[in-house]
Structures are given as structure tokens and as C-alpha cells.
Structure 1
Amino acid sequence: MELQIGKEYSGFKLLERKQIDEINSCGMIFEHQKSGARLFYLENDDDNKVFAISFRTPPEDSKGTPHILEHSVLCGSRKFPVKEPFVELIKGSLNTFLNAFTFPDKTMYPVASTNDKDFSNLMDVYLDAVFYPNIYKTSQIMMQEGWHYEIEDKDAPINYKGVVYNEMKGAFSSPESILFRKISESLFPDTQYGLESGGDPYVIPSLTQEQFVNFHKKYYHPSNSYIYLYGKMDILDRLNFLNDNYLRNFDRQNIDSKIDIQLPFDIQRQMVIKYPILGNEKEEDKTFLSMNFVIGKATNSEEYLAFDILELLLLEMPSSPLKRAIIGAKIGKDVFGSFESSMLQTVFSIIVKNSNKDKAEEFKKVVVNCLRKLVHDGIDKKLIEAAINIKEFGLREANYQGYPKGLVYGMKCMDSWLYDEKPWIHLAYDANIQKIKSALTTSYFESLIEKYILNNDHSSILIVEPEKGLLEKNEKQVREELEKFKNSLSENQLEELIRNTQELKKRQSTPDSPKDLEKIPLISIDDIDHKAKKLEFEEDEECGVKVIYHPVFTNKIVYTNLYFNTSSVKQELIPYLSLLNTVLGRINTENYNYEDLSKAVDIYTGGITYSVETFSKNDSVDKFEAMLSIKTKVLIDNLPKLVELLEEIIKRSKFDDKNRIREIIDETKSRMEMIIFDRGHIVTANHLLSYFSNVGKYQDVVNGIEFYNFIVDLDKNFEQKAEEITNNLKEVAHSVFNKNNLITNITLDKENYDKNRKFLNTLYDNLDSGKVCHNNYKFDLTPLNEGIMTSGKVQYVSKAYNFIELGYKYSGSLQVLKAIANYTYLWNKVRVQGGAYGCFSSFQRNGNMFFTSYRDPNLKDTLKVYDEAGKFIENFNADDREMRKYIIGAISDLDYPLTPSVQGEKVFERYIKGIKYEDIQRERDEVLNTDVNEIKKYSSLINDVMSKNYICVLGNEEKIKQDKDLFNRLTNVFD
């Protein structure tokens, strides 16, 4: 049935319809007549359905109100009064996405599921949360999620606690995060974009309960809402549900959520911001420089896409001319760009990392001179073609950070819809791509550079420089303020604060009533397919090379992955494997300089990526295979060109350009520093595995802290080691790139595979095929138990060991235990009561198991929580309904929808690991048959793992030194 424009359906009037061929969807714009709610539906055949409700929420200050509300509305509502409906949904739904986001000007609540019933449940809980939250009933929600004074007895000091407070302390620990947050402040001093919607940790404690609820009253109304639906569904049923259950209860209001326009500057502004480093860190080469320009409005869809491409063209490719000019002038050691398009006035930034303040003027001069030269002489047309192709390939794949495709489209549509333009203008991109392709014969990009960068005074230079002792000074100021506040309190006021702390802790530790828990909608086990999905594959062979082929429709894209066994590499040269995969495709070859090579790859393919991967053998503690993977995607017609480029990179890369190798080492060091700050929970957990696990040690050497230390050493001693580095890269490449090391993984539909299967033979025939000697690596496994100190304000706390070494076996029921640990025990103890932003557990087939925390204000207390986990599991109890939740949550992780390329990678992973379909089915059966008694038996497993006392903590220097007795050694991660 085709809906009619102008007609009402359950109170929704259909205003417009548009076929969007680029995403094979039909877009429909509705308006709810009574409440004023806007709704956009993208109709298509995708079973992975997406719902989102968003509100325009421009901040009024930097107290973090939009962010704290994003957390808080999901802490109980009218129909679902449990303390954490969000967590109950994670435990017990088949969601393929469940989260919420705070942007500089909006708050977004998206969910996704492939199951119709589950999708309805998710919609219901989220809608009730945003319109009828329990924040009006209890101030303890804002205290927990935002901030509160914590004091347990009158002789103790007062502290600030709160999930968002600690999250933002962590965010403001990273210099990169500080930089990006201050760019907006430098460019938009008079509008909402100059404020911190996430919350400045030094300002958050001024937020009152009254301000908090008033923000919700003002902005969380259907008249200020943007409802998004995507996928294959009965839209009339969804509209009826929205109207009957929610929207008909609201009358249209005139809500002022207007986003102000920042007037242009008369002259470029300059801002200097400090960030903390440790006292023994050097200050040299640790400054960030950025030039930032307000470009235009996000509603200009052509410029929106053009600047996304221009940022890639100028700054993100190996041959990017502006990046090359800045690096060549030795302004800094890493250069990257940013085009911020999710705001009304878009921002283009040129960023230099590992520089110095006195380089600021030279930085500006180099940028201006380089861009003037590009405008005058013209940009290399092959570079333009490469940038457009790589961006167009990405648009068609719509694969962003593993998000469901429908969510990617939903976020993209908000970049216009929020600003009163049609929601599809960034989705219907073909016409704009064609306009931009005129750049291949005209001065299209040169004109943009001239207009928006060279002749644009609405710009800023931002300098973010290190300062020793700054953290201590700031923390001292906070302590003094808290002490002063405490001294100002009367006896009664102090007792009230103590009582508030106790009451909050009581609420946090009191279980929800079974009656309230039963109100959270839950699907049946019968709604789950008891059969595991079978990923078909075939074993083939071409020219003596084994091929693992996964037949699936790929819309004429060939996904070809080459996996080279790396056990032929000498043990002392293992770190060079990661350096090799970092330089491949970014250095000269016999027939290409690296800039031309980069352009050719991006013109003819959808990208080539390189990495070192490890595959633990099924149910084995020690056995693993390490491989250097080269992953490619290309349209079928360009497959011959891909083969030519792969042969050039594998066979003819030249490792003698020492200046280029040095540049890549500098950049690698810089990017790893960002990872260590941003993903400290994963960094510490993986480093901890190296204390006791061979595969963990190997992964740390090629991807973790040990590899970072290796890169730091190469950077420090490059002049002395340059020849050694070159020779080692040559030796490792020669050892690895041998036909006898290779297995190929291809994902493509059957018809096209049969037609194209022999294209790779040229590559196979030209590979070395001499005898390969494989090494049996023996690592020194030592429980270092490190406290790794940084200038950050929070901790990442990990504890781990291998349960198979202790006599236990892997079972699918451990994935149910993981759900219980993550979303009941750790969530309540580490996040809710402890104030950390995140907490996670992992139970792997090879026996490696860990607990880890993210942006955690605690250290010893978190380790105590880990140590008491076994006792919790020993006393664990749950009725059938509660167990069903955990089982469904575990199945949700197993059944996450996979793109064709990821399906192919999963097929290969299982093949190399020796995991058969029977193993996958057995794991699923074990999940589905898990009961309380089986979970309780795991108490001894957790107790035994925790008793090994293997720990690793990354975090605040003062905090780690306070608990130094916990560690075998204290180290600094940064020099």
C-alpha cells in the first residue's frame, strides 16, 4: 500500500516522499498534527531496523546538562520504574545497537534490532524514558549520573563523585580531546557552540537539580523532537504505536531551541590552552597547533560533501600536499585534519601534533604558502580523483565504526534535518558527487580553498601546550575548594550531606523489586533461532595457494584478503612486523613513488589495509597462528589493477628512504599515544595478558605497550639505528612474503568468483617460493604487575589470568556469565557505586579472562570489587525470567549482523582457529541451556583467576603512587 501525500495516518500527516536511489530507500517526511513531532522514515528491505528519537538541545552553559540528561533519562521512567532500564535492555534484548549520544547541539537516542518484537520493546522503553523519566521523582539520579558531594563520616574529606563527572575528567585528560573541545570555543565565543555540552569537570559541580529538570522540561517535548525510523517494517503499525502510546498525550508547543549564528571575525583569533604532563616528562615536541576555519552551513549539501573530500585530499592521504608541506618544514611530527559537519556552522581544521609553541607563526606561513601555491598551480588531478573515489566508495558501503547502516544514515540525516532542511539532502549524494567531479577538469577545489581558507578571517589558531605541575595545581585547587566548602557547613548541613551519601549508596545497592523488573518487556526464548547461522565457505586452490572462499552477494565488490604466516620471522624481529605493515603502501616501490602509489590505490580500489593478526587455536592455551593480513576491496572491473598494485607493494617496496621511514615512525608514535589515552581499558587488559599468555605476549609486542616502547626507542635513536631499521624491514619482508606462507580469503558471489578466480594467479606466480623455516617462539612471561603512570585524572584498572591453565574448560555458558558480570555485578559496583564510566569482562576460547574499567576514579576499590566477584557468583540467584534475560543478551552478541566483508573475515578466522560449525552450534546450545546452578559453579573459576593477582593499571600518577604497594613496578608510559 502506497501512502498518500497530504493524508493522515494515526495523527501523522505525510508531507513529502522521495526515492533515494543511492541507498535504495524511499524517504517519507511526516508531522504529528497534535504534538508537532517530526518523523522521517526510510523504507527499504533491510531487516536490521533502526529507531531514534532526538532533541535539539543547545547547551546554556558548560555544566554538562545535555550530557547528564542523556544518561539520566535512561535511569527509570513512568512505565519502567527500575533504576536502570537501559541495562535491563542490554541484558535481555536482541539489539544490534543500543546507546545514546550527546552532540554539541542535539541529544540522540538510537536503538536497532532485527527482531520485530524486540524492536517494539526497545522503542517503548526509550520513548517512555525521554518523555516520562523519573528524574522528577528523585534527585539521586542526577547525583549518580551527574555529580554529588560524597562524604561518609564527618572526619573524612568531601569528594566529588558522578559518572559524567568522571567521564569528562577522563575526556579532559587527553590533550587531543582538549584540543577538539577548545576548537569550537575559539571559533564560536558568542554562541552555544562555544560551550561544552558534555560538561567541563571544573564546572559540572555547579549544576543544580532545578536547572537539570528545567532543561528537560524545556527541550524534551515532541514539538522539539526528531523521530527516525529505518528498515523493513509495517510503518502504519509503528505510527499507530507512537500516536496511541505517546504523542497524542502532548499538545504542540512553540519551543525556542534555536541555534545562534556566530558572526564572522574581523581578524583571526589566537588562543593558548595548557594541558598537564608529569614532572619527569619533557615539554619539548609536545605542543599541538591547529588552524581552524568556519566554512559554511551544514545545510549546503554540496560544500558539506566537498569539504569532507577536501580534508582527505589535503591532509589524510600519504600524498596529501598540505600534510607533506607541514611535515617537510619540520613543524611537527604528525599532521591530520578534521571536518566537523555535525553542527550548523561547519568547521575545517588543520592540526599538527608533537610540535612547539614557537613554531606557530611558521606553521601559519607554511599552510598559507602551500595553499596559495595549490590555488595558483592547481591540485594534482590524480590526487583529486583518488580522494573522490575513496570517499564515494565509503558512501556506498556506509560502514562506520561497525554501526548498523541505518544508524549511519540516521546520523547523516540529522546534519540537515536539525537545521530545518530536508533530512535526505546528504543521503541523495549522486548529484553532488557529479558536481564535485568537475574538479577533474576545473579549479573546483582551488576555488573552495581560496574562498573558505585563504580569504576567511572567521578562523583561529589554537595552541595547546604542556605544563608540568598543572594537574597537581588544579587538583589542589579542587581539594581546597572542597575543604573550604566543608568548613563552611554547619553541623546539621554536614550531617545532611553524610545522610545524602548514605541514602544514595543504599539506593544503588538495593535491588529492583521483581514486580518492577517484570515491567521491562522481554522476548521469549522461542523468539530466538536455536540453530546457529551457518556461514558457507569452500576450500579452493590456485597455483598451489589455498583459497578460502565465502559465496555471498557483494554488489560487484570483491573482498580479497591475503594472509601471510609470519612464524618465519626471527623472534627478535617480531616488532618489525608491525612496522612493516605500517610502512607498506606508504613508501616508494620500484615503479611508483609513494605519492603516486597512494593515488593509484585510491583511484582503482576501495582501499588496502595492513595489519598483524593472531588466531588462537580452538580451546588451546598456547597454540596460535600469527599472520600479516593485506585486506582489499575493489570493484570487479578493477581486479586486474588491484593485482598489479599488490604485486608492486609486496615484491617491489623499497625500504631505503630513511627520511620517509622516520616520518612514518613519528606518526605511528603519535597515533599510539592517542590510543593509549582513549582506549586505556583495552590497552591495559591486553598488556596484562602478556604477563602469562604466549598469544597475549605476541599481541603486545606487535600492537600494544611493548610495541609502543619499541617505536619510542626507534624514534629516540633513529640516527644510530637507521641502517639497522632498513635492513630489518627488508629481512622481515623477505621472510613473510613467500607463496608458501600465503592463504587467500575471497568474499564474492558465486557467478563472479568463477569468472574471476584466476586473476590472482599472476601475483601467486611472482611470489618467492623457496623453503620456509618456521620458528617456535618462546617468550619470557613475567607477572610485571605494573602501575603505568600518566598525567590523566582517572584510571584504567585491569585484572586477568587464564582459566584453562587452572583446570577449567571453555563453554558457551561463560558468555552468559559475561553478561551477568558486565551488566549486574561490575555495572553496579564499578560504574553505579564506584562512578567509573565503563567496566567490562571477557572470557575467551583460549582461556584468557579479564576484568577492566574505563575512566575510573578508583583503583584499590575497583580491584576489591574484582576480588569479590567470585563471592557474588557463588551467591548468585535469578528466577527463570532473569536468566532468560542474560541468555538473550549473550545470544545478541553471537548474532550481531555482519556485512559481507566481515562475514568473509569471520569464515577465515574460524577456519584458521579450527572452529567448526559444530563448535558454534555447541556454544549456542550451551548458552541457551545455561541455568543458575551452572553459573554458581563458576565462582571457583573467578576466585582462582583473581587469586593469581595479575594486575595492570594505567592512570593518575598520584593515585598509583598512593597504592604503590600493589605493584611490582611503577613506570611512565610517556617520556
Structure 2
Amino acid sequence: MQLLLCQPDPHKASRAEKAEKEILGKVKASLTDKDLTGLVRATQELRLKQATPDPPEAMRSVPSLSLQDIPREPTTVPKEVGYINGVKVLQHDLFTNDVLYTDIVFDMSSLKQELLPLVPLFCFALQTMKTKDTRFLGLHHLVLRKTGGISIAPMIQSTEDPCCHIIVRGKAMARRAEDLFDLINHLLQEVQFTDHRRLKQLVSNAIVEYQQSVEGQNIVAVRMEAKLNVFGWICEQFIGISNLEFLQALEKKVDQDWEKISSSLEEIRKSLFTRKRCIINMTAEGKNLTKSEQFVGKFLDLLPGNSPCATTTWNARLPCVNEAIIIPTPVNHVGKSVNIHNTGYRVNGRTYVISTFLAGARTWLPDRTLISGAVCASYRFDNYSGACSFLRSGDTNLLKTLDRYDNTGDFLRRLEMDNDTLKKVIIQTLKHDSCKYPDPRAKGYNSLMQYLTGATEEERKRRHEEILSTSLKDFKEFADAFDAVKDKGWLLRWEHQKMFMRH
């Protein structure tokens, strides 16, 4: 047996930085004063060119859409709602070239609140642990051989009451529909949580994957919203810092309390995988949908009828305090989040246009950041919860940045926007709202999401009309609502200890 021990090199980054400085120093030493003056001048000219907008006559020469070119009603996806064995089934008759796409949705409302942080690991374990008769690799190869893939993951949608589900997504050629549903049943009901060593490995892998893929802005945004509403808190348990803390604590408990962890995973399975409140979503040609119904019925017959647990209500948030997260990172992040709903303001289609404008605008940042590229800024708005989040990376002027966040209302109130600019923002909003899902699988999935969140066709038409009728007056109304809550938000900083001490 060979043991390979891998250790990080703590001095690698400093050596690379030193080598880069030496190379740049040699290049600079080889330049004459005239060369250096030319580089400075070229840099200044480039920055000026980047900061100077194109003249109106040049912009008018570029072909563009007008609002008259936009359909007056949103795009729709054919949908037929029916029942198989008492379970609701959504069918979308679309051309898929004989491929069957399915999404199986299991409601999570019967799950105990204390088990929520375990859900991502539970979904991962279903796809990476063995069954009684099949080892993991054998099952994995079987899925790849007979289908186009099967995934299991938690799905959260922001609504007035958080919409939280486990969603199983799969695809296969229509002639393999029976194999697809048989394999899904195999994963959901026959995977065993008895391999202590394998589960410990999964926990360790999940920690490493989190640490390698973490994105500071997303973590900051999720954690801030977790202070504002239950939806944000659930997201924090699934993908935020709380999830990492849970996994690190779980790694220590795997050896000490293995039976309890295994029992909790089984409890999640029994609570969720039942016919009660299950929804099947299928996208294919009509003939293939009809042929697949018998296999859906067989799959549903194998599921328990009801959950042994009663419906529960989750009511948790992170403490409403400002936070600083100290982490060894070269890039810091600063965010502030407020809840616009606290003013009584209610979201409509025009709010989507304002959000699109703010997400693309950089006017609320210091002018120098428009050119340097050293700062990345973003704005996020949750249309259901009312959470407005401002985020900025690479910040060196904390107080000035916070002033810019808080002065968003003044910026919108003083905003002057010609009809052409407003038209572009409206079209960009409609692109995100209506044309985001061009392929048949995504169309069927988008229709499912609309169904789960209660977005009716009448509501979508109303929102579409409101987007098209947005005016500058709507920006001013949003500014008033923002000003009413700007002092009631929460600040979060994600940065290196040295940067934290400077601020």
C-alpha cells in the first residue's frame, strides 16, 4: 500500500508575485524614457476612449428593435394538466427528436426544519452510494448506458411562502422511457445509507468542493437575504456559509454518531418520496408522451401514498446584525441588503425594468471604476421577497461605496433617460423574462417553474403589459420606496484580515 500525502505550498503565491515583478522590472529597465512616456500616453488615450460614449449618429446607424416589434403578449408553452394514479402530471407536446425529458417534483413541506441542512448531502448521497445489489460504479454506468443522465437536487423558488422541493431530472430516448423511470425509482428507494466509510468520504468531498468553488459575491448575497426572509435562510442552509459550517461539524460527528446520521438520511427519504403533492413534468412529442404514461403509472405505484410526517412550517432567519467574514482571500466583497416590501411597495412588471437598469448600470459607483476594471459591482432584486442587494468586489473605499448604495434613491430621482435608452432597458428585461429558455427541455422546465410558483397566464400577460408601459415616472416611485428603507438594511463584508483592519 502506498500513501501519498499532499500539502499546500504557503509560499507559492508570493514566489509567483516576486517572479512577475522581476519580469516587469526587466521589461521596464529595457525601455527608454520616450517608450515610457508613450505607454503612459497610450494608456490615457485608451481610458478616455473607453469612457467616451459613441456619438448619437453612430448609435443610430446600428440596426435595433423598436417596442412595436415586440409581441404584445408573452411567449407561451403548450401545457396539458392531467392525473395518473392521483398524481398531477404536466405534459408539454414539443418536438424533441424522440427524446423524453422528465422532471419529478417532491414537496419538502413535511420535512423537519432541523433536517434541512442535510438535504444537499442527501441528494448527493442518492447519486453516489450503492444499493443492496449494485455497487455505485455499476449503477452509475447503468444510468449512463440507458439514459442521458439523471440528477437529484433541492430546488428553491422565492414566493410569498418559500417553494421548496426535491427535483429529479432525467432524459432518455422515448424507447427507453421504462428504463428511465425504473432507474429513478432505483436511486430514490434502493440506495442504502449504511456505508459509513463512503458517507464520510462524501462529506469530506463536499467540504473541499465548497471551498474550491465558493464565489464571494454569491455567498454575501445569500447571507444578507438570510437576515431578511425565510427563503434566504433556506438558501443559506443549502449553499451559504451555514452549509459549510454544518458540513465541518458533520465531518467530526460521522465517527461519533454514525447511526443517528444514517437514521436522519432515511427519515428525509421517508418524509419526501411519496405520491402526496408529487408532480410529474414531461416534455416530448405527443405520441411519446402517451406511450410513457404507463411507465409513469408503474413508477408512482412503487411510491408510498403519504408521508409519515405532518406538514410543517419553517420560520427562521439569521440574526439581523451587520457582519464581517474574515477569510484569506485576495479579493474583498462588500454588500448591503434592504427589503423594499417593508414600505408597502408592491412589485409589478415595471419593477423588473428598474431592476434590469440597476443591474446593468455602473453610475452608482465611483467614476474611476468605470475605466479601471478593478472593481466588479452588481445589483440583485428578488421580485417576490422584495430583497434589494448591492454588491461590490475589490472595494478600497468602503464608506464611499456605502454612500453610493444609500444614494440610489437620489440617483434614480435625478435620472434623465431618453426614450431610446428606456426602450433598450425594456427589451433587455423582456429578453430575460420571456426568451430565456429556447430549447424544448428548458421550455418545459420553465413552464413547470411557473406552475410551482403560481404564475398564471393572466398574471404573465399583465406583467408583460406593465413592462412595455414602463416610464421614467416609475423610477421615481421606486426611489421613494428605496429611501424609506435605506437605513434599515444590513451590511456584510467578506475580506482578508489585513483589509478588515484598514477599514
Same fold flag (TM > 0.5): yes
Find the residue that maps to 2:295 and give its secondary structure: coil
Distance 2:365 2:82 in 1: 50
Distance 1:768 1:710 in 2: 30
Q: Which amino acid aligns with 1:932?
A: L
Distance 2:176 2:408 in 1: 54
Going from structure 1 to structure 2, the CA distance change for 1:864 and 1:746 (only over 3 Å counts) comes to same
1:533 Cα offset (Å): 0.4
Counterpart in the other structure of 2:295: 759
Counterpart in the other structure of 2:306: 770
CA contact (8 A) 1:794 1:858 kept: no
In structure 2, which of residues 112, 128, 151 is the aligned counterpart of residue 609 of structure 1?
A: 151
1:553 Cα offset (Å): 1.2
Counterpart in the other structure of 2:230: 694
Find the residue that maps to 1:953 and give its secondary structure: strand
1:626 Cα offset (Å): 0.8
CA contact (8 A) 1:799 1:946 kept: no
Distance 2:482 2:57 in 1: 31
Counterpart in the other structure of 2:246: 710
Distance 1:519 1:859 in 2: 41
Going from structure 1 to structure 2, the CA distance change for 1:596 and 1:911 (only over 3 Å counts) comes to same
Find the residue that maps to 1:804 and give its secondary structure: helix
In structure 2, which of residues 413, 425, 438 is the aligned counterpart of residue 886 of structure 1?
A: 425
Q: Give the alignment's TM-score, normalised by structure 2.
A: 0.88
In structure 2, which of residues 363, 372, 387 is the aligned counterpart of residue 848 of structure 1?
A: 387
Matched, 1:680 2:199: no
Distance 1:554 1:700 in 2: 36
Matched, 1:957 2:497: yes
Counterpart in the other structure of 2:340: 803
CA contact (8 A) 1:568 1:736 kept: yes
Going from structure 1 to structure 2, the CA distance change for 1:944 and 1:962 (only over 3 Å counts) comes to farther
Q: Which amino acid aligns with 1:899?
A: D
Q: How does 1:513-662 map to 2 (within 5 A)?
A: 514-515=56-57, 517-617=59-159, 620=160, 623-662=161-200
Q: How does 1:811-826 map to 2 (within 5 A)?
A: 811-826=348-363
Q: How does 1:276-355 map to 2 (within 5 A)?
A: 331=4
CA contact (8 A) 1:810 1:844 kept: no
Distance 2:388 2:349 in 1: 14
CA contact (8 A) 2:226 2:317 kept: no
Distance 2:415 2:59 in 1: 17
Going from structure 1 to structure 2, the CA distance change for 1:730 and 1:709 (only over 3 Å counts) comes to same
Matched, 1:901 2:437: no
Matched, 1:667 2:209: no
1:519 Cα offset (Å): 4.8
Distance 1:691 1:503 in 2: 45
More strand by share: 1
Matched, 1:875 2:414: yes
Q: How does 1:155-170 map to 2 (within 5 A)?
A: none
Going from structure 1 to structure 2, the CA distance change for 1:658 and 1:859 (only over 3 Å counts) comes to farther
Going from structure 1 to structure 2, the CA distance change for 1:666 and 1:696 (only over 3 Å counts) comes to same
Distance 2:336 2:365 in 1: 18
Going from structure 1 to structure 2, the CA distance change for 1:501 and 1:753 (only over 3 Å counts) comes to closer
Q: How does 1:47-126 map to 2 (within 5 A)?
A: none
Distance 2:260 2:379 in 1: 41
Counterpart in the other structure of 2:10: 467
Alignment RMSD (CA, Å)? 3.2
1:500 Cα offset (Å): 11
CA contact (8 A) 1:553 1:749 kept: yes
Deviation per CA, 1:502-556: give whole Å up to 9, x if none. 9999888776655555455432222222221012211111111111222211111
Greater RCO structure (CA 8 Å; 6+ sep): 2
1:873 Cα offset (Å): 0.6
1:590 Cα offset (Å): 2.1
Find the residue that maps to 1:758 and give its secondary structure: helix
Distance 1:507 1:829 in 2: 18
Distance 2:205 2:456 in 1: 40
In structure 1, which of residues 904, 911, 923 is the aligned counterpart of residue 463 of structure 2?
A: 923
Matched, 1:356 2:6: yes
Q: Which amino acid aligns with 1:737?
A: F
Matched, 1:938 2:478: yes
Going from structure 1 to structure 2, the CA distance change for 1:747 and 1:467 (only over 3 Å counts) comes to same
Going from structure 1 to structure 2, the CA distance change for 1:637 and 1:855 (only over 3 Å counts) comes to farther
Q: How does 1:358-437 map to 2 (within 5 A)?
A: none
CA contact (8 A) 2:220 2:494 kept: yes
Distance 1:859 1:739 in 2: 52
Distance 1:924 1:810 in 2: 13
1:888 Cα offset (Å): 1.7
Matched, 1:788 2:325: yes
Distance 1:881 1:829 in 2: 25
Distance 1:630 1:514 in 2: 51
Deviation per CA, 1:250-283: give whole Å up to 9, x if none. xxxxxxxxxxxxxxxxxxxxxxxxxxxxxxxxxx
Q: How does 1:729-744 map to 2 (within 5 A)?
A: 729-744=265-280
The count of aligned residue pairs is: 487
1:470 Cα offset (Å): 6.0
Distance 1:836 1:949 in 2: 26
Distance 1:473 1:959 in 2: 21
- Bigger Rg, which one: 1
CA contact (8 A) 1:836 1:857 kept: no
Distance 1:473 1:942 in 2: 46
Q: Which amino acid aligns with 1:942?
A: F
Distance 1:934 1:713 in 2: 48
CA contact (8 A) 1:795 1:859 kept: no
CA contact (8 A) 1:691 1:782 kept: yes
Going from structure 1 to structure 2, the CA distance change for 1:834 and 1:954 (only over 3 Å counts) comes to farther
Distance 2:469 2:96 in 1: 36
Structure 2 stretches of 5 or more lacking a match?
none
Deviation per CA, 1:826-866: give whole Å up to 9, x if none. 58648415634532222222122222235556544433332
CA contact (8 A) 2:217 2:392 kept: yes
Deviation per CA, 1:422-457: give whole Å up to 9, x if none. xxxxxxxxxxxxxxxxxxxxxxxxxxxxxxxxxxxx
Deviation per CA, 1:284-330: give whole Å up to 9, x if none. xxxxxxxxxxxxxxxxxxxxxxxxxxxxxxxxxxxxxxxxxxxx977
Going from structure 1 to structure 2, the CA distance change for 1:467 and 1:911 (only over 3 Å counts) comes to same
CA contact (8 A) 1:789 1:960 kept: yes
Going from structure 1 to structure 2, the CA distance change for 1:854 and 1:600 (only over 3 Å counts) comes to farther
Identity level (%): 24
Deviation per CA, 1:947-969: give whole Å up to 9, x if none. 22312232333223322xxxxxx
Q: Which amino acid aligns with 1:638?
A: R
Distance 1:819 1:760 in 2: 41
Find the residue that maps to 1:627 and give its secondary structure: strand
Going from structure 1 to structure 2, the CA distance change for 1:693 and 1:502 (only over 3 Å counts) comes to farther
Distance 1:851 1:714 in 2: 33
1:789 Cα offset (Å): 2.4
1:473 Cα offset (Å): 11
Going from structure 1 to structure 2, the CA distance change for 1:822 and 1:833 (only over 3 Å counts) comes to farther
1:759 Cα offset (Å): 0.6
Distance 1:905 1:582 in 2: 21
CA contact (8 A) 1:859 1:959 kept: no
